[in-house]
């Protein structure tokens, strides 16, 4: 296996392209060669069946790179929805629908974190009111016990455990976490700490991008 070209705790180059598709809000988010486009429609009309009287209905559709959506993509939808549900001020938009569509454009690992970040940016781009901002980072622990942040596909294949975290911007609390594989408590909290630092870096990138777009 060719060793990675960047240090273990360095994330890949982030690039963000707002207004990627012509919707209420959209963004393309890239971690190196992993890219997800997210578009947000809303607040818009909701089907009577899904209507909630006191808050907005949030619908997430996750489209894989190739093929039809499977259980994995459904799980991603569920994760993204429950993560953004806790940050969007959905009680400001009762009886409406906020529809979020994520499409994977390039897959080189770390897709879930990429999708969450794309969704965050697209929501801001759409002007949906939020009380917080969610940013996600993933890392793996490899067979030698080293922690590699923002793993690429070939690194994930050989991982001992795989962790994805989503943090909130204001309190840096844990919004979402999915860890699979075999690991110890110490390893977990080490991953947690490293990902938290990386999350700060992503927030800075997002802020810089917004400032750049506004000027």
90 touches another protein by CB under 8 A: no
184 touches another protein by CB under 8 A: yes
176 touches another protein by CB under 8 A: yes
Cβ contact 37:103 at 8 Å: yes
132 touches another protein by CB under 8 A: yes
Please state the separation of Cα 206 from the chain's center in Å. Answer: 13
Choose, by CB under 8 A, the member of 98, 168, 198, 199 that binds another protein: 168
**Which segment (9-17, 95-103, 139-147, 158-166) binds another protein by CB under 8 A?**
158-166
Distance CA(174)–CA(165), nearest Å, equals 7
Alpha helices in 36-165 (DSSP H): 71-85, 111-126, 153-157
Cβ contact 50:40 at 8 Å: no
Distance CA(215)–CA(176), nearest Å, equals 33
Closest approach, Cβ 28 to another protein, in A, equals: 25
**Which segment (23-31, 82-90, 111-119, 142-150) binds another protein by CB under 8 A?**
82-90
71 touches another protein by CB under 8 A: yes
């Amino acid at each position: 296996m060719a060793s990675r070209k960047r240090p273990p705790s360095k994330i890949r180059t982030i690039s963000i392209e707002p207004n990627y598709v012509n919707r209420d809000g959209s963004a393309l988010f890239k971690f190196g060669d992993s890219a997800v486009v997210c578009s947000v429609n809303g607040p818009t009309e909701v089907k009577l069946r899904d209507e909630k009287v006191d808050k907005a209905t949030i619908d997430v559709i996750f489209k894989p790179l190739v093929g039809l959506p499977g259980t994995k993509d459904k799980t991603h939808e569920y994760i993204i929805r429950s993560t953004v549900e806790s940050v969007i001020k959905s009680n400001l938009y009762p009886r409406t629908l906020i529809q979020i569509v994520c499409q994977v454009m390039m897959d080189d690992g770390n897709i879930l974190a990429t999708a969450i970040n794309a969704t965050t940016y697209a929501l801001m781009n759409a002007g949906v009111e939020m009380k917080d901002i969610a940013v996600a980072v993933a890392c793996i622990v490899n067979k030698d016990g080293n922690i590699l942040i923002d793993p690429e596909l070939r690194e994930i294949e050989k991982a001992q455990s795989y962790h994805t975290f989503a943090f909130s911007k204001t309190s840096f609390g844990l919004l979402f976490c999915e860890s699979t594989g075999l690991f110890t408590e110490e390893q977990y909290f080490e991953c947690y700490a490293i990902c938290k630092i990386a999350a700060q870096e992503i927030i800075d990138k997002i802020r810089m991008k917004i400032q750049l777009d506004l000027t």
